[in-house]
Amino acid sequence: MALQPLAERLRPKTLNEYIGQKHLVGEKAILRQTIESGRMPSMILWGPPGVGKTTLANIISQQQNRPFYSLSAINSGVKDVRETIDKAKRTRFFDQPNPILFIDEIHRFSKSQQDSLLGAVEQGIVTLIGATTENPSFEVISPLLSRCQVYVLKSLEKNDLNELLLRALNEDFDLKVKEITVKETEAMFRFSGGDARKLLNIIELVVNASATQSITITNKMVESILQENIAIYDKQGELHYDIISAFIKSIRGGDPNAAVYWLARMLEGGEDVKFIARRLVILAAEDIGLANPNALLMANTCFDAIHKIGMPEGRIILSECTIYLATSPKSNAGYEAINSAIQLVKDTGDLPVPLHLRNAPTKLMKELGYGANYKYSHSYKGNFAEQDYLPEKIKNHKLYEPQDNTQEQSIRARLKSWWNHKYGY
């Protein structure tokens, strides 16, 4: 009989064995108190891979002695959901708590699939526990999200990883019979990326690479073994962030060839296309901005289309958007302006609104001068009247600086015609 993977052998069965997430399941933490009370709301567990979402759902069902049904959003449809709910109805007894329906990667469920859960959750037929690596505000429909408590799980910290390492070496029946000395942990912890399952996989890989019972683990040893075994693309590890960084920098730098190459690397590695599309929307605003306002429209349209179409056709839309943004003129003037404005607010505090700009809904406010001497722009030539719009203390501050591109040079010319003393150079 084949040996189970280390991650399965060490899967915790109680909250006391569970490592990490002290803010949720530590002594007197909110989720632990909820679990121990026996009263469980439907919930969404949101966090990166390998932090214990599935394990936590299993522990909850065992601790509360509830029937447990599990579906994966990757290979389950509306029919599977309905069949599971019907099964939960048939097997439920009057004196039993609601069965738990665990749905892994619930963010991959379509709207119709999520709709099929609503009735069972509302009627208390099941207690839903959904697991997601994506922001549920974007990925879970509002009616379902409003009926669930969202708990945020975090990547494991160094202390958690060290605790997990010691447990593996001291408690696993296969490892504790070997003579394993850990001289250095930095490489193991770095490659794990705060993912418990990945750390256990690394430990197992390193130990199995040795032909002897006596093993000394060092950073150099770990790096050498992983370089031979690590996947070409790990969408949740360090390489994930390196590749998305190369992708963004290639677009920002105006190289469509490199940008499409890194896009292909992500797609071939199984990256979530919605994650890529969201990054394109951010880049369009941050790095192209007013140099080409259509870029944001293009990126947003790309994001919407990806939601509707998915893969494999979505690759074409992503490619077109990537090339468009890479070949577009660039400006971060809007990004710089809001950052400067936020810093100015922090530095100067709550400055009073000038009287002529204040709202004057009552007679008293009018008598106090609210709104007095305000110049209504449309009553003046060119729909412009020069007046101060900033508080007196900072009235000459300039936060937006048009950059050297066709679109913003046109903006600068317009501003110069209005505000020669600010934009006249």
Residue 390: pLDDT above 70? yes
Residue 412, pLDDT above cutoff 90: no
**Predicted confidence (pLDDT) at residue 40 exceeds the cutoff of 70:** yes
Question: What average pLDDT is seen over the chain?
Answer: 84
Mean of pLDDT values over 209-224: 85
Tell whether the model's pLDDT for residue 318 goes beyond 90.
yes
- Model confidence at 354, pLDDT cuts 50, 70, 90, reads confident
CA 3 to chain centre: 35
pLDDT at 77: 78
For residue 295, pLDDT beyond 60? yes
Confidence of residue 155 (pLDDT cuts 50, 70, 90): confident
Q: Supply the pLDDT for residue 275.
A: 86
Q: Where in the chain is the domain with CATH 1.10.8.60?
A: 158-229
- DSSP codes of every residue in 250-268: HHHTT-HHHHHHHHHHHHH
> Does position 271 have pLDDT exceeding 90, yes or no?
no
With bands split at pLDDT 50, 70 and 90, how would you rate the model's confidence at 370? low
- Which helix (H) or strand (E) segment holds residue 232: the answer is none
User: What whole-number distance in Å separates Cα of residue 382 and Cα of residue 385?
Assistant: 8
Question: Is residue 235's pLDDT more than 50?
Answer: no
Mean pLDDT, to the nearest integer, of 365-382? Answer: 74
Residue 235, classed as helix, strand or coil, is: coil
CATH code for the domain defined by 21-152: 3.40.50.300
Residue 319 pLDDT exceeds 90: yes
In the CATH hierarchy, which top-level class contains the domain 348-423?
mainly alpha
What pLDDT shows up at residue 239? 59
Q: What is the mean pLDDT of residues 398-419?
A: 82
| String of DSSP letters for 100-127 | EEEEETGGGS-HHHHHHHHHHHHTTS-E
Residue ranges, CATH 1.10.3710, the chain: 348-423
176 contacts 6 by C-beta, under 8 angstroms: no
158-229 in CATH: which number? 1.10.8.60
pLDDT tens profile 256-267: 888 998 899 888
DSSP codes of every residue in 347-410: HH-SPPPPGGGS---SHHHHHTTTTTT---GGGSGGG------S-GGGTT-------SSHHHHH
User: Coil, strand, or helix at residue 411?
Assistant: helix
The pLDDT, as a whole number, for residue 93 is 64
Residue 134 pLDDT greater than 70, yes or no? yes
Model's pTM, two decimal places?
Answer: 0.57
Collapsed DSSP state (helix, strand, coil) of residue 342: helix
CATH number for the segment(s) 238-326:
1.20.272.10
Residues of the chain with CATH 1.20.272.10: 238-326
CATH 3.40.50.300 segments of the chain? 21-152
